[in-house]
């Protein structure tokens, strides 16, 4: 029996696998939630600096232009002492519990938010796997879940829903609703008609809030 066959035949194995996958991806989501807004702000500052004719380096702090900063580089460090986080201290949920929520180098507390995001991702992924079972719908719902967790926490911190997360999700959703149900492909959880109405209604509601806010506040 291959791994795929095992996942397809046993809901319990598939749910357990998605739970672990959810924990691991949850750990990466913590990185996205923290770094993506910083990356966006840097990019906006650079654009502003270019538009106003200043040298980008003048407005971007020391950590700026020269030093690469993205979702992969540099390695994660402790916000308090700057010590790089060793791989063995980066195991989702388990490391935080073993370290009792404190940095291994300096002993400063590590926010409970990190294990919470990991646990939330793990639990939601297990629920998705249980609900949909093995198939493309489950993988689409897992992707949606991860994007929504990242969006929810970035929104909570910065009142911002980055286009780089919302727009791919919009197109991916429409594409999958169109693709699902084709010959040999199981039907999508949401049909094309509902997807299209959802996309328009979602856009229109946020567009209205934006313009209503501008109208009221000037």
Q: In angstroms, give the least distance from the CB of 190 to Zn ion.
A: 45
Kindly tell me which of 103 and 128 has the beta carbon lying closer to Zn ion: 103
Kindly tell me which of 82 and 184 has the beta carbon lying closer to Zn ion: 82
Q: In angstroms, give the least distance from the CB of 157 to Zn ion.
A: 21
The region of 7-15, 64-72, 104-112, 175-183 touching Zn ion under the rule CB under 5 A is: 104-112
Q: In angstroms, give the least distance from the CB of 172 to Zn ion.
A: 38
- Tokens 């996958």 belong to residue: 21
- Tokens 């291959």 belong to residue: 2
Contacts with Zn ion: how many residues (CB under 5 A)?
6
Residue 110 binds Zn ion, judged by CB under 5 A? no
CB-based contacts of 108: which residues, under 8 Å, 6+ apart? Answer: 78, 80, 81, 102
* Site track 52-91 with Zn ion (rule: CB under 5 A), x = hit: --------------------------x-xx----------
Q: In angstroms, give the least distance from the CB of 100 to Zn ion.
A: 14
């Amino acid at each position: 029996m291959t791994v795929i066959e095992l996942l397809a035949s046993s809901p319990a194995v598939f749910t357990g696998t998605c739970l672990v996958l959810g924990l691991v991806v949850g750990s990466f989501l913590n990185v996205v939630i923290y770094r993506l807004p910083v990356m966006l702000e840097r990019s906006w500052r650079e654009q502003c600096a270019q538009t106003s004719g200043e040298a980008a380096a003048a407005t971007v702090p020391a950590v700026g232009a020269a030093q690469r900063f993205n979702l992969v580089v540099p390695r994660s460090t402790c916000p308090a002492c700057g010590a790089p986080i060793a791989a063995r201290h980066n195991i989702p949920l388990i490391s935080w519990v073993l370290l009792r929520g404190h940095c291994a180098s300096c002993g400063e507390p590590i926010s409970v938010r990190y294990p919470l995001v990991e646990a939330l991702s793990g639990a939601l992924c297990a629920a998705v796997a249980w609900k949909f079972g093995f198939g493309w719908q489950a993988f689409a719902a897992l992707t949606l879940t991860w994007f929504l967790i990242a969006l929810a926490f970035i929104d909570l911190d910065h009142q911002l829903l980055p286009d780089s997360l919302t727009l791919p999700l919009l197109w991916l959703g429409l594409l999958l609703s169109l693709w699902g149900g084709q010959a040999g492909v199981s039907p999508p959880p949401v049909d094309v008609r509902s997807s299209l109405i959802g996309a328009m209604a979602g856009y229109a509601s946020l567009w209205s809030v934006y313009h209503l806010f501008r109208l009221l506040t000037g």
